[in-house]
Chains A and B, each alone.
Chain A
C-alpha cells in the first residue's frame, strides 16, 4: 500500500512556509476528519477523532489537560476555521502542524486501530485506478516492468495501443520523455511523465535494444482496453473458451472485475451455447486492489436469476438488499468458481453471492475478504482518502466472512508429504535393476512435480465434470 501513499508534506509543499503551511495543514486535517465523519462506516464521535490529533500537537502543559484544546477543534465548522486555529498556534510559537505534516503516520495510523486501514492517495493515481476499473485506461499501451538498468524499458506492447501503432517493440529502452532524461528516474515520476489526458502527445527518445541507435517517436495518449475475461492459460477467448483437457468444460480466467466484465461474459454466453459447454469454471484470480463493487454487483446480477445478491451497509443510509433480475447468463450450465489467496474482494463477494444462491460450487482456498469495501473520497482536488465506506453482508444470514469454500484444497503440508513419498518411490525405482516400464509409470504416480496450483485446478476441473454429468442426467 505504501506506494500509493504520500505524506502531507508533499501535499502542502506548495503552500509556502511557516504560518501558511500551518494554515494549509489545518485545512487539510479538517477535511480529512470531515470525510471520515461523512463516509467512514464506523466513524466515531468527532471528539474522538480530534482527541487523536490534538495529542500529536500538544505542548507538555496542554497535555496535562487537553480538553480545552480538543473543544476548540471540535467547534470548528469549516476547513478555514481549523486552518486559522493552527495558524494562530504557529504565531504563538506553540506546536502546530509539525507532526501533522505526516498525516498518514500521525493521524491515520492511530485511527486505523479502530477504523481499519486508511490511506491518502493522490487524486491522479485514483483517476488512473478508476480508468483501469472502467477499462478505459488512457496511456500508450505499454507495460514498464522494474528491472536492473538505470533506463526504463517497455516490457510488453499492448495490441491496439498507440505504442504499437508507433512501431515500438517489447524491450524498447526509453532514454528521454519529452526531452527529459529518464536516467535513474523513479518509476512513479516516469509514470507521471508518460501518463496524461486523452489526445495529448508525448515524445519518447527510444532505442529498440541497448546499444542500438536512438530515435524519437511521438505518440498520442489514447484509451487502451484490455480484456478482463481470459481463457485458460491467460489466452484471449478468441482462441476458444474450453479447458484444453475437455472441450465441454468452459474455463474462464477473470483477471479483474471491470466495467467491461459483464459485456465480455455476455459475448461468451453466446459462444458457450454454440459450442455445447456443459459446465463452466470461473477462475477468480486477482484484479484491482480496491475492487469495484458496483461492477461486481452487476456481474453477480448477470450470473444469478432472481436471487438476493448481498446486503450493503453504508453510513447515513438504510441497509440495501441487492436482488438479481430475472435474466441470467449461462442458464442451465453449472458453474464452478475457483478461488485462492489472490482472489480480490469484489471477486470473493461475487463467489459468495453465487454460493448463497446455490448457483456455483466454490473450490479452492478461502479468500481473505471480510466484506469490507474501501472507497476513495475526495479531500480536495489533489488528494483522496481511501477508507472503509461499506460493509457487505452476505445474502444468507447464517453465513459470514470469510467465504468458506465448498471443496477446500489439499493442504500444502499434505501435498509436500505426497511429493516426498513419490520422490522416494522414484528413487527406489532408479536403483532397482531393470524395473518394468509399468512400474516406472504406474497410473497413480505423476510424472511431473506436483504443484499445489495444478492440484486445485484439477479439483475444479473434476468438480465441473461431475456437475456436467449430473446436470445432463434426466
Chain B
C-alpha cells in the first residue's frame, strides 16, 4: 500500500470521529451530497445533502464537519449570496420550494420558502445578489425571483418576476451577468438555451435562443477565468460507431470531453456556436474517462475534472495533457477551488465524503458522517453510475440514461443481431413492468436485458448474480418521468379527455395497452430499419411528455410529428384538432 492510501485512510478515521462528536444528527444515515460551496474566504465548505435534506458545514482547514442541520426533504442545489455570506439559497425537489437559509454560527435555519414549478434542481444568483434563477427539471421551466422582494414581502408569490418555459428539461445553469443572460443546458440531450433576463420591472425574461451541440450529458458549465469562453463537460455518443469492443476501446463510440465555446457566439442568437468551438478529448484507449462532471479551471492554468463514472480526478498541469489521475470517493460530481488556487475539494455524492486534492496528489478525505449498510437498491444505484461496468471505464449506464431517463439519441448495438441499425435509447423510468425488453422484444426479463446491456452494449465483464439483483432492484425504483404542470390547465385537461376517447376509438390500446401503455408482442409498424426490419416491441407511452425523439430511429422530434409527418398507424387521417387532443392525452401519461 502506498503513502497516499495510508493518508486517505488516516483522513477517513480522524474525520469520522470528529463528525460523530460534532454532528447534529447522531443516527447513522446516508446524506448523498449534491452541491458544494466554499465560503468565508475559503475557511468553510457547505454541502447540500439530497437524501437527508440537510446542510453540512465543514471546516476546510481542519478538514472536519462542524455541524449538520436538517432543513428540507430532498435538497438539490445550493448557492451562497454573493453579497451576504450568511444567506444561502437551496432548492428542494420534493417540496418543490426555494428555501432561503440563514447561517448563524454553526447552525442553519430556513427563513423563507417559495413555491416553485415542480422539481427545482438548480439555483444561481446574479452577481449583485438581486435575482435568483431556478431550473425546474420536469416542469421545463426557469423561474426568476426578485430576492429582496421575496425576503421582505409577506406575499412571496409576488417576487416571481418571470417563469420561462423551455422545450427541454433543464439542469445546469450559467449566469452571464454583464449581458443579463442565463445559459441553460439540457439535463438529458444536446440543447443549450439562452434566457434573456428582465432588466427593470417592465421587461419580462424570455427565451432568446435554443441551439444544439453535438453531445449530451452536460454535467457542468463554467466561464473560463481569463478568456471570453464558456467551458462544459459532456459526452458524445457517436451515431455511426458500434457498441463493439474496438469502437469502445478506441473511443469511437463514446467520447468524454471538455468543450469550450466562444461566449459571444453563445449569446448571439444568430451565431453558429460550432464555428469557434474547441474540444478536448478526455481519456484514451485502455483508460476511459467516463462521465466527466464538475470541474475547475485554475486562473493561472490547469484544469481539474471530476470523472463521476470512474471515481477519479483528472488533472492537467497547464499543458493540456491531462496526465494526472487521482482516486476520489464514489461518484465525484462537483469540484470547487480553494482560495489558494491550489487545493481542490471534490464532492463524492455516493460516498458522503469530500476528497481534498493538491496539485499532484490527494491531501485527505473528509467524511460527512457515519452511515448504515447499503441496501440492494443503493448498491444498484452505485453500479448504475459506475463506468467501471463498461470496457475500460468509458461510460456508465447513466451516460445514456441520466437519472434513469434517456438522452434520446441513437446507439448501434448488437441486440437486434446486426450492426448498422442504430436504435433510439429508451428511458428506464417505469421499466419495471414493461416486459419484454429491447426493441425487438428478445428479452423476457429485466434481468436478461441488464446482463446483455453490460456485456454487449457496454462491452463490460459479466455481472455477478448479486450485482444483477442490485441493478434490477434499483431500476425497479425508477418511476416514469412526470409530465410538466402545463398539462393540468383546464384547457389541456379538456383536450386530453377528448384525446382519451380518441385513443380508445382508434384502438391504440392494441399495442399500447394501459396501465403500462405497451404490450407483450412485437408489432410491424411499417417503418423499416436499415436492414428492412419493421417489427418492434412497442415502447411504453408513460412519461412521453418528457421525450424529445420518437420511433426506433428518433425520426420524429415532437409528439405532433408522430401523427402529422409520420401518420403513426392510427388507421385514419386525423384532423389538426384531433392531433391536438391525442397529444394532450399522451402528454398526461
Write the residues of chain A forming the contact surface with B, with a CB cutoff of 8 angstroms: 134-136, 259-260, 262-263, 266-267, 269-270, 273-274, 294-295, 297-298, 301, 305, 316-318, 320, 322, 325-327, 331
Contacts and interface: CB of A to CB of B under 8 A. Distances in A.
A301 B412 CA distance: 16
A301 B240 contact: yes
Contacts of A260: 250, 285
A263 B420 contact: no
Contact of A298 (B236, B238, B419): B238
Interface in B244-302: 246-247, 249-252, 274-275, 277-281, 284-285
B250 to A, nearest CB: 5
B532 A263 contact: no
Contacts of B275: 331
5 contacts: A270-B281, A298-B240, A298-B241, A325-B238, A325-B239
Given A273-B278, A325-B214, A259 B252 contact: yes
Nearest to A328: B274
Contact of A318 (B249, B284, B528): B528
Given A269-B279, A301-B238, 16 more contacts: A134-B246, A259-B246, A260-B285, A262-B250, A263-B284, A263-B285, A270-B280, A270-B281, A295-B252, A316-B531, A316-B532, A320-B530, A322-B240, A325-B240, A327-B236, A331-B277
A263 B250 contact: yes
A298 B252 contact: yes
B242 interface: yes
B320 interface: yes
Shortest 5 CB-CB contacts between residues of A and residues of B: A134-B246, A259-B246, A327-B214, A263-B250, A326-B214
A408 to B, nearest CB: 32
A5 B282 CA distance: 43
- State which size class the interface on B falls in: 20 to 34
Contacts of A295: 252
Contacts of B249: 136, 259
B410 to A, nearest CB: 11
Given A263-B284, A320-B530, A305 B274 contact: yes
A134 B280 CA distance: 24
B250 A326 contact: no
Contacts of B530: 317-318, 320
A327 B279 contact: yes
Contacts of A322: 240
Given A273-B278, A298-B240, A327-B236, A318 B532 contact: yes
A237 to B, nearest CB: 14
Nearest to B531: A317
A338 B24 CA distance: 71
Contact of B320 (A134, A270, A326): A270
Contacts of B274: 305, 326-327, 331
Interface in B198-223: 212-214
Contact of A266 (B212, B278, B281): B281
Contacts of A301: 238, 240
Contacts of A305: 274
Interface string B405-420: 0000000000000011
Contacts of B284: 263, 267
Nearest to B419: A294
Nearest to B320: A270
Contact of B420 (A267, A270, A320, A325): A320
Contacts of B252: 259, 262-263, 295, 298
A139 B182 CA distance: 55
Given A298-B240, A298-B252, A301-B240, A259 B280 contact: no
Interface in B529-560: 530-532
Nearest to B285: A263
Nearest to A317: B531
Contacts of B251: 262-263, 266
A262 B250 CA distance: 8
A135 B532 contact: no
A260 B167 CA distance: 38
A334 B532 CA distance: 39
Contacts of A297: 240
A353 to B, nearest CB: 13
A40 B264 CA distance: 53
Nearest to A133: B246
A413 B532 CA distance: 52
A274 B278 CA distance: 12
Interface in B340-355: none
Contacts of B280: 270
A171 to B, nearest CB: 31
A259 B280 CA distance: 20
A135 B285 CA distance: 11
A294 B242 contact: yes
Contacts of B236: 327
Nearest to B279: A327
Contacts of B419: 294
B214 to A, nearest CB: 4
A147 B203 CA distance: 84
Nearest to B321: A270
Nearest to A300: B240
A298 B236 CA distance: 14
A41 to B, nearest CB: 14
A259 B247 contact: yes
A259 B249 CA distance: 9
B514 to A, nearest CB: 35
Contacts of A273: 278
Nearest to B248: A259
- Of A134, A267, A318, A327, chain B has the most CB atoms within 10 Å of the CB of A327
A316 B278 CA distance: 41
Contacts of A136: 246, 249
B507 to A, nearest CB: 30
Nearest to A309: B240
A301 B236 CA distance: 14
A267 B247 CA distance: 16
Contacts of A326: 212-214, 274
Contacts of A267: 281, 284
A142 to B, nearest CB: 22
A305 B277 CA distance: 13
A320 B275 CA distance: 28
A322 B422 CA distance: 12
A55 B252 CA distance: 49
Contacts of B285: 260, 263
A322 B250 CA distance: 21
Contacts of B420: 320
Nearest to A131: B246
A317 B238 contact: no
Contacts of B247: 259, 298
A148 B455 CA distance: 48
A17 to B, nearest CB: 39
- Of B212, B214, B240, B241, chain A has the most CB atoms within 10 Å of the CB of B240
Contacts of B532: 316-318
A260 B284 CA distance: 10
Contacts of A317: 530-532
A274 B316 CA distance: 15
A288 to B, nearest CB: 14
A266 B322 CA distance: 15
Interface in B493-531: 528, 530-531
A295 B240 CA distance: 9
A19 B320 CA distance: 69
- Of A301, A305, A317, A325, chain B has the most CB atoms within 10 Å of the CB of A317
Nearest to A263: B250
Nearest to A324: B240
Nearest to B284: A263
A295 B242 CA distance: 10
A298 B251 CA distance: 11
A421 B180 CA distance: 73
Nearest to B259: A327
A321 to B, nearest CB: 11
A201 B219 CA distance: 46
- Of A274, A294, A297, A305, chain B has the most CB atoms within 10 Å of the CB of A294
